[in-house]
Chains A and B, each alone.
Chain A
Amino acid sequence: MRFNFRLIQFSLGIVAIAAVSCSGGNDENGNDTPGGDSLEVNTGLRIKGQSFMVPSPVQIATLIKNSGALYNKGMLNATANLSVYSDAMKRALNLGVYGADLGYITMYENTGDAMEYYRTVVLLGEQLKITGSFDQSLMQRFNDNVGRKDSILVLVGEAYRRSDQFLRESEQDNTAALILAGGWVESMWFALNVYKEKPEDAISVRIGEQKSTAEGILNLLRETNKPEYKELIKYFDELNQEFQKVEIKYTFAEPTNDEAHKVTSINGKTEVKISPSLLTSLLYKVTELRNYITK
């Protein structure tokens, strides 16, 4: 009898685990149901609360190209470094880094380098077991569109969106956060280096405008609660402390609507104050962080 009782306990235990693992679903009315009172359910979905959206690194690359700065392959993370990344954290961070590199290369329409970096991105995606995004069919579409900058940008953006979707569906939000963080660090690395060579307000202002993004990414990484990210978070924290010295003043103005074309113009104005010494300090901190990520 005692033995049967243990078996029943065992069975109930499995059923309880199942109930917990399957919680969060759809009720009979098709409503999604959260699994409990926590802020995050096991699908990576956030309930209420706030989410942070990281701007695309391609936008920084565009600004750099428009500034007249020349293409500089020396700024990129060499593809030969791929073999150095043996753990999941470094691989995810560098998938973001190489993605930003690919965006930069694409803006400058350097076909040979684009193929090299695209292959690297596909390899890293495979190593991270991200399926449905960086695969051979996309590689074929990439080959078919080489030389068409706009098409390649769309393909790369779509590939990263699909990988982000895959990671969130498979409850790998930590990996998604690392990819975003890596891409943003690389874009800051570009911007600060270009500013060093070509100190223009358009670039320094765009760097200063990243103040909120720096804090947002730091919070994303902290929310992962991963002990193995401790050193990465330390570097991010130091960088964020510098970014918080940027002064930003916003003045609201009424937006204007173009109903026919479904367009609203946002007319407010933001003023950014960032000193040359702060830019030097940011370059130092970004270099430290990037070295940690890419070495």
Chain B
Amino acid sequence: MTLAASMKKQLLISVFLLAVICAFHQPAAAQCDSTVSLCAKHIVPPFVSDGQTYRALVLSGQNAEFHTTFFAGSSYRIAAGSGFTEGNLVFSIYSYDPATGERFLIFTNSQHNYAPYWDFKVNSTVEVIIEASLNRASGKESGCAVVLIGFKQ
């Protein structure tokens, strides 16, 4: 076998192995994309998307945190999910005192049948932490947590 032929054969084998490995490792992002679509159907008029998609990989028993500000006089809709069906994600909203670091529970969907979205009316501007974790009932050890925010004045 010539040098060129041998190299070509080895290269083909390598490319084949690369393709096989990639085929069996669907990127985590793929599941995120489906979840984003699932959540986006709840951000509908009169709510306007804030223009962002928030995603985090969460492991069972662990939380992802998203920090933001809710402004006085606005209403917000938070839609959150994980995986391909609703109800896989527990999300909780805390108000937050930036001076002391103290946080106060405002809402958790675990007390509302794991609702995939909820609205918040904001009377005075508040710093907010959105905490997301996998619903134990989903039986998943890990998943992509997606949070979308819409607002209306």
Contact = CB atoms under 8 A, between A and B. Distances in A.
Do the two shown chains form a genuine complex with each other? Answer: yes
Contact of A33 (B58, B124, B142): B142
A19 B21 contact: yes
Interface residues of A, number: 85
A176 B143 CA distance: 23
Given A32-B28, A51-B67, A7 B104 contact: no
A16 to B, nearest CB: 10
A45 B104 contact: no
Nearest to B97: A250
Interface string A214-227: 00100000000000
Interface string B69-96: 1111011000000010000000001011
Contacts of A62: 153
Interface in B101-126: 104, 106-107, 112, 115, 117-126
A150 B45 contact: yes
A284 B63 CA distance: 40
Interface in A240-278: 248-250, 252, 255, 257, 259, 261-270, 272
B77 to A, nearest CB: 9
Interface in A25-67: 25-27, 29-34, 41, 43-56, 58-59, 62, 66
A90 B9 CA distance: 45
Nearest to A265: B121
A119 interface: no
A264 B52 contact: no
B95 A18 contact: no
A212 interface: yes
B123 A25 contact: no
Interface in A124-170: 150-151, 153-154, 157-158, 160-161, 164-165, 168-169
B54 A53 contact: yes
B69 A49 contact: no
Interface in B1-59: 3, 6-7, 10, 13-15, 17-18, 21-22, 24-33, 36, 40, 43, 45-46, 48-59
Nearest to A21: B22
A14 B68 contact: no
Given A32-B143, A59-B71, A22 B49 contact: no
Contacts of B45: 150-151, 154
A266 B141 CA distance: 33
A11 B125 contact: no
Contacts of B118: 262-264
B120 A266 contact: yes
A51 B123 contact: no
A53 B107 contact: no
Contact of B21 (A18, A46, A212): A18
Contact of B62 (A3, A4, A48): A48
Nearest to A179: B51
A212 B127 contact: yes
Contacts of A33: 28, 142
B140 interface: yes
Interface of A: 3-4, 7-8, 10-11, 14-15, 17-19, 21-27, 29-34, 41, 43-56, 58-59, 62, 66, 99, 150-151, 153-154, 157-158, 160-161, 164-165, 168-169, 176, 180, 183, 205-206, 209-213, 216, 248-250, 252, 255, 257, 259, 261-270, 272
Given A25-B24, A31-B140, A66-B153, 6 more contacts: A43-B28, A59-B74, A150-B45, A165-B33, A165-B36, A259-B112
Q: Identify the 6 closest CB pairs spanning chains A and B, nearest first.
A: A160-B51, A53-B68, A25-B25, A157-B49, A18-B18, A43-B29
